[in-house]
């Protein structure tokens, strides 16, 4: 390796960072940026081949060359690494897209030091453009948050919501149009369905500021695709307390608008609102749930949301042809799932009619007496798995609910030759597409062909709209930093701080708090196994070596399994919770429980972290806790 490094340097192959680039592009009156969250090159291949087979004979032995909408608009590709990890999360990547700066994983609209940085949406607002966010996640999720809020930790959902609508943003209301999920963060604590910890009524406050508030499909339809009398800015429409449905589920329930419907409505509204102005609009669109399906290793949900993304791209292209003063670019924030296609034949996915999320909801809610019949007659057919052998059905029935869903994921994926290398993100470059009509399109293609760092894309938009990110940053920082929520909750959420806190001994021992129910391995055996696996407490990775994510509140997320011992955490206040954690805390919990019960006691242990750091604020409505037990016993 040393010889190869010397040889590369001698030949001039020395790694270089991107030099700052400038563009002399034709100005655009309107700019649309689309984020297909968690969408990688293999994702597009899967969707393209699926559609091609359905349209061209359904014979994988005689494939036909085919292109979806995004394939026709490829410009180049984009690097995605964050400031503290080769594998980015959505927050760091969206901050790069929105602000043009590198930052740590979990950061929302702040740089690596935690200081706020201006976003392209805020810059457009200050320059008197209209602005909009259209997503299928909760509206205060990482990607839309990074365009409209500034917090040190992406899990500060309540603070993000308050900033997005202007309640606590130093610049006031900067977003004219918001579509997505996440109603619960806009309702005061006393309202049904709220997930706030306070009595701030953001929907009520928004109405006082002149926003039209929509919370269901009927109210959305009153906008008449953005052409009705009700479609007057500003407005906010949130159509689910949580994330909006996967497209594969939405078409069955029809209680929410599709991403395409929201985009059409938003563009018509923004076009009408700016008809008499020299300035147009900036619109960020996110096909959010592509990423969630990648995390869940759910190929059918992934597929249908990718097809919807391509439908949106096709619609936006046609819109630009009719409105040639508009430019569009699109790139994913990262790939998710480490998707590969080997022995690939997507046709078995045609029989899947529900996401694994929906399947899990239905299976968990079933309280009848014939579980086998319900599994065979309802759950397996909607999963595209009708006709499984009795032995496989018996195996599935023997599993806990969460493990059954995991097995279904594997069975569905294997049937289609779809393989996942991770339940998280990967470091692969993502594809950049773009479109402009006429000479604008030619200049866009010439300017943006090639490989880019993700921080460079907003600089192109900044130039195209003639706005100034630096001015926004100055205005934000002129308001001080007290309004920027600090990093909150333990354990840590990015590697650098994790190593710092443990290496500087800023965390006291984690403590045992209570025993779990059910069977569990010997505490002493688990302690010995993890010590042998991970080494001494002085290990350079202690405090930050394990990573995982919990998708839902109170979901137990496995971080590491060793023999019969499993270790993990559950968020008691926030969903979709990414974290880096220290195995020494697990040992602390086990040591504390051994002192109470003895080393040969079989006890599942729940423990609490005890960290004191001026950059950490405990959340008042719940802590993250460790469990040490075998969840399948």
pLDDT tens readout for residues 420-432: 998 889 999 999 9
Task: Return the minimum-mean-pLDDT range out of 253-267, 374-388, 563-577.
Answer: 563-577
pLDDT for 621 equals: 32
Quote the tokens at residue 520: 């569990």
User: Does the structure show a pLDDT above 60 at 381?
Assistant: yes
pLDDT for 94 equals: 98
Is-contact 143 503, C-beta < 8 A?
A: no
Closest CA to 594 of 535, 480, 509: 509
pLDDT-based confidence at residue 584 (cuts at 50, 70, 90): low
Quote the tokens at residue 102: 């590198």
* pLDDT tens sequence across 336-360: 999 999 999 999 999 999 999 999 9
pLDDT for 41 equals: 98
> Which of 63-67, 229-233, 591-595 holds the top average pLDDT?
229-233
Share of residues in the chain with pLDDT > 90 (%): 64
pLDDT for 541 equals: 35
Q: How confident is the model over 397-407, as a mean pLDDT?
A: 89
**DSSP classification of residue 110:** B
* pLDDT tens sequence across 553-562: 566 666 666 6
DSSP collapsed to 3 states, 529-549: HHHHHHCCCCCCCCCCCEEEE
Closest CA to 154 of 198, 212, 93: 93
pLDDT for 302 equals: 98
User: Does the structure show a pLDDT above 70 at 540?
Assistant: no
Cα dihedral 103, 108, 114, 118 sign: positive
Region at 360 (left for phi over 0; alpha for psi -120 to 50; beta for the rest): alpha
Distances in Å between the Cα of 544 and the Cα atoms of 79, 496, 535, 539, 629 are 24, 8, 14, 10, 21
- What is the SS3 assignment for 142? helix
pLDDT-based confidence at residue 70 (cuts at 50, 70, 90): very high
User: Does the structure show a pLDDT above 60 at 107?
Assistant: yes
Q: Which residues partner with 78 through β-bridges?
A: 430, 452
Taking the C-alpha atoms of residue 173 and residue 578, their distance in angstroms, rounded to an integer, is: 29
Q: How confident is the model over 512-535, as a mean pLDDT?
A: 66
Task: Return the minimum-mean-pLDDT range out of 244-253, 385-394, 525-534.
Answer: 525-534
pLDDT for 241 equals: 93
Any catalytic annotation for residue 90?
yes
> Full-prediction pTM beyond 0.95?
no
pLDDT-based confidence at residue 498 (cuts at 50, 70, 90): very low
pLDDT-based confidence at residue 23 (cuts at 50, 70, 90): low
Contacts of 370 by beta carbon, 8 Å cutoff, 6+ apart: none
Taking the C-alpha atoms of residue 552 and residue 574, their distance in angstroms, rounded to an integer, is: 7
**DSSP classification of residue 246:** P
Look up tokens 């943006």; give the residue: 448
Closest CA to 410 of 274, 275, 297, 316: 297
pLDDT for 254 equals: 83
The residue that leads in pLDDT, 598 or 630, is: 598
pLDDT for 502 equals: 43
Q: How confident is the model over 48-62, as a mean pLDDT?
A: 92
Quote the tokens at residue 426: 């990967």
The residue that leads in pLDDT, 528 or 336, is: 336
Taking the C-alpha atoms of residue 267 and residue 454, their distance in angstroms, rounded to an integer, is: 25
pLDDT for 20 equals: 59
Catalytic residue among 82, 90, 330, 488: 90
State the burial class of residue 630 (Cβ atoms within 10 Å of its Cβ: 0-12, 13-18, 19+): middle
- What is the SS3 assignment for 253? helix
Domains of the chain: 31-342+423-478 (3.40.720.10), 347-416 (no CATH), 495-629 (no CATH)
User: What is the separation, in whole angstroms, between the first and last Cα of the chain?
Assistant: 46
Average pLDDT of the chain is: 84
pLDDT-based confidence at residue 100 (cuts at 50, 70, 90): very high
> Which of 166-170, 253-257, 492-496 holds the top average pLDDT?
166-170
Taking the C-alpha atoms of residue 537 and residue 543, their distance in angstroms, rounded to an integer, is: 9
**φ and ψ at residue 557, rounded to 5 degrees:** -100, 120
Q: How confident is the model over 125-143, as a mean pLDDT?
A: 98
pLDDT for 252 equals: 84
Rounded to the nearest 5 degrees, what angle is found at the Cα of 169, between the Cα atoms of 80 and 463?
50
pLDDT-based confidence at residue 19 (cuts at 50, 70, 90): low
- What is the SS3 assignment for 561? strand
User: Does the structure show a pLDDT above 60 at 536?
Assistant: no
User: Does the structure show a pLDDT above 50 at 129?
Assistant: yes
Q: How confident is the model over 123-135, as a mean pLDDT?
A: 99
pLDDT for 108 equals: 95
């Amino acid at each position: 390796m040393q010889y190869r490094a010397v040889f590369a340097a001698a030949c001039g192959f020395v790694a270089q960072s991107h030099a700052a680039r400038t563009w002399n592009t034709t100005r655009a009156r309107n700019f649309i940026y689309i984020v297909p969250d968690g969408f990688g090159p293999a994702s597009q291949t899967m969707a393209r081949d699926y559609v091609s087979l359905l349209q061209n004979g359904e014979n994988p032995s005689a494939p036909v060359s085919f292109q979806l909408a995004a394939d026709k608009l490829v410009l180049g590709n984009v690097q995605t690494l964050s400031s503290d990890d080769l594998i980015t999360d959505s927050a760091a990547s969206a901050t790069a897209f929105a602000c043009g700066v590198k930052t740590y994983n979990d950061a929302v609209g702040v740089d690596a030091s935690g200081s706020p940085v201006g976003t392209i949406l805020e810059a457009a607002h200050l320059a008197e453009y209209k602005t909009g966010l259209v997503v299928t996640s909760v509206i205060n999720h990482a990607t839309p948050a990074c365009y409209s809020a500034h917090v040190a930790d992406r899990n500060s959902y309540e603070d993000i919501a308050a900033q997005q609508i202007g309640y606590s943003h130093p610049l006031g209301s900067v977003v004219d149009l918001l579509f997505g999920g996440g109603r619960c963060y806009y309702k005061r604590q006393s309202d049904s369905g709220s997930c706030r910890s306070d009595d701030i009524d953001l929907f009520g406050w928004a109405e006082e500021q002149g926003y039209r508030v929509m919370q269901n499909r009927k109210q959305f339809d009153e906008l008449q695709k953005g052409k009705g009398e009700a479609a007057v800015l500003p407005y906010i429409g949130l159509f689910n307390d949580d994330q909006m449905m996967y497209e594969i589920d939405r078409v069955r329930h029809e209680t929410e608008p599709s991403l395409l419907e929201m985009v059409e409505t938003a563009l018509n509204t923004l076009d009408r609102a700016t008809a008499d102005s020299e300035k147009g609009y900036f619109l960020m669109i996110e096909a959010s749930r592509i990423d969630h399906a990648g995390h869940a290793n759910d190929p059918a949900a992934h597929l249908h949301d990718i097809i919807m993304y391509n439908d949106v791209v096709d619609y936006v292209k046609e819109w630009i042809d009719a409105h040639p003063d508009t430019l569009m670019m699109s790139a994913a924030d990262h790939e998710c799932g480490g998707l590969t296609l080997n022995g690939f034949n997507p046709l078995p996915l045609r029989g899947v009619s529900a996401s694994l999320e929906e399947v899990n909801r239905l299976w968990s809610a079933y309280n009848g007496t014939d579980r086998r019949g319900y599994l065979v007659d309802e759950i397996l057919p909607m999963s595209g798995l009708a006709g499984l052998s009795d032995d496989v059905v018996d195996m599935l029935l023997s599993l806990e609910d969460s493990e059954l869903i995991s097995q279904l994921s594997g069975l569905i994926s294997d049937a289609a030759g779809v393989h996942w290398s991770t339940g998280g993100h990967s470091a692969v470059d993502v594809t950049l597409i773009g479109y402009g009509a006429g000479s604008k399109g030619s200049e866009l293609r010439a300017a943006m062909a090639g490989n880019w760092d993700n921080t460079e894309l907003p600089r192109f938009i900044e130039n195209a709209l003639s706005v100034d990110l630096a001015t926004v940053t100055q205005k934000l920082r002129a308001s001080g930093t007290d309004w920027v929520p600090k990093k909150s909750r333990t354990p840590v959420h990015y590697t650098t701080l994790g190593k710092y806190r443990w290496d500087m001994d800023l965390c006291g021992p984690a403590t045992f708090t209570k025993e779990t129910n059910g069977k569990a391995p010997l505490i002493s055996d688990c302690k010995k196994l993890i010590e042998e696996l991970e080494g001494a407490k002085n290990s350079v990775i202690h405090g930050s070596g394990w990573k995982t994510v919990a998708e839902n509140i109170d979901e137990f997320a496995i971080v590491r399994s060793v023999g019969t011992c499993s270790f993990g955490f559950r968020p008691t206040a926030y969903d979709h919770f990414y974290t880096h954690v220290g195995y020494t805390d697990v040992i602390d919990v086990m040591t504390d429980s051994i002192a109470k019960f003895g080393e040969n006691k079989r006890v599942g242990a729940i423990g609490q972290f005890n960290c004191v750091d001026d950059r950490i604020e405990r959340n008042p409505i719940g802590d993250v806790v460790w469990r040490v037990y075998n969840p399948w016993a």
